[in-house]
Amino acid sequence: MSAYWFLRAFFENCVIKVFFRRVDVVGLFRIPDSGPVIFIANHNNQFVDPMMLIVNINRVVRFLIAAKSLGRPMVGTFARMAQAIGVERPQDLAKKGKGIVSCDECSTAAVGEGTEFTKELHVGAKIKVGDTELGVKSIESDTQCTVEKCPMAISSAPYKVLPRVDQALMYSTVHTALKAGDCIGIFPEGGSHDRATLLDLKPGVAIMALGAMQAGAGSVKIVPCGLNYFDPYRFRSRVIVEFGDPFEVPAALAEQYATDKRGAVAGLMKLVDDAMKGVMPGAQDYEEQQALLTMRALYKPRNKRLSPEETLKLNKMFAMARIHMGKDERFESLMTEVIEYVELLRSASLRDRDVRMGLARDKSMAWRTVSALLQLLLLLPLTVPTAVLGLPVAAVTAALAKREKKQAL
């Protein structure tokens, strides 16, 4: 057994089956059996999402990973076993700039004070102030440079310098893999998040696909994947992995890429965006997503057991209804009532099925309360020493998490 398949078995039995109560896969038959394929998916968790796809795709999928992570002891070992491809990210190479910088709103002239632009900047680099990134177009002096139009006024602010990174080696590795008929996995949002909607998609997937076809990979297919985590903050929750219809990258776009890279990439990204939206639930935020899931549960007949396909279909139908009837006062009133109902369930530590199955009646609730108290009394003696032993681990983990968050920002 190769290292990849050993790692796949480890992820399946020691991670996925432990942390998730149930994982359903929809559309597995849509995955091409051979040929170059790029899997694209929404990104909820930096580590869980790749594991979820590796476990549920019966082909070797080489994911892109930050080159910085490849150097970490455990993560790097797992990544190499998974045949991951390292990507050097500008944010991982960012350095604090000397001095302070100012720029008027809608201006392209950045003015520094105590800065050394000629030493620290180069064309193609970015000046980052908070969440705002300004691409450097030219450098006039140590205190003046021309940047992209500034979306907001910046006044005497500290900044970071994000260097321009040449990704030629990474793209060459991807093109070689696709030419060999391998699979590539990528999260086109560029970063993980807990929103119910997609972030703006990065064009890297289009550049990879079109560049590979130009390099002789033949027809490249793209498969959209939807990772639907139900109640993601709860241990032993449920997941539905949906594989959408694969589509071939149009040969016309590959030909256009030779003379008009920007236009070809934009055309393919439109197809990618449409494909990703087809496997997403369609809610605007987590609260709305939970309300729509509750609507689906209330709509379902009590004795009807939905298949994963039916569950996803109903979820998307309610999401479409939300989009088309969003301004209808009746629908708004319904959404408000359902959200209040969800909050009431959460405050009572109940689930909707508990109510529908009659588990929330007075006698039943009283028995559940007594049962919970008995469990607490029985398990408390075991919990206290475990908690004491776990405190140092929790403290170290919290400190490391704060350090990593600070570095990421």
Once rounded to an integer, what is the mean pLDDT over residues 233-251? 88
User: Is a pLDDT exceeding 90 seen at residue 144?
Assistant: yes
More confident: 262 or 405: 262
Looking at the chain, how many residues does it have? 409
Vertex 296: Cα angle to 290 and 300 (nearest 5): 150
Once rounded to an integer, what is the mean pLDDT over residues 307-336? 82
User: Is a pLDDT exceeding 70 seen at residue 119?
Assistant: yes
- If DSSP states are collapsed to H, E and C, what string results for 29-64? HHCCCCCCEEEEECCCCCCHHHHHHHHHCCCCEEEE
pLDDT, residue 324, reads 80
User: Is a pLDDT exceeding 80 seen at residue 36?
Assistant: yes
The pLDDT mean for the chain works out to 87
Once rounded to an integer, what is the mean pLDDT over residues 377-382? 81
pLDDT digits (tens, 9 = 90+) for 226-237: 998 877 777 888
User: Is a pLDDT exceeding 80 seen at residue 365?
Assistant: no
pLDDT, residue 250, reads 95
State the Cα torsion 95-190-208-259 to the nearest 10°.
-80
β-pairing, 109-113 vs 144-147, is: antiparallel
- The model's confidence at residue 360, banded by pLDDT at 50, 70 and 90, is low
DSSP state letter for 16: I
pLDDT digits (tens, 9 = 90+) for 169-201: 999 999 999 999 999 999 998 777 767 677 788
Sheet with 144-147: strands ordered across:
95-96, 160-162, 126-129, 132-139, 144-147, 109-113, 100-103, 154-157
pTM given for the model? 0.76
| 161 vs 142: CA distance, rounded Å | 14
| 167 vs 174: CA distance, rounded Å | 11
Residue whose structure tokens are 């990507």: 87
- The model's confidence at residue 409, banded by pLDDT at 50, 70 and 90, is very low
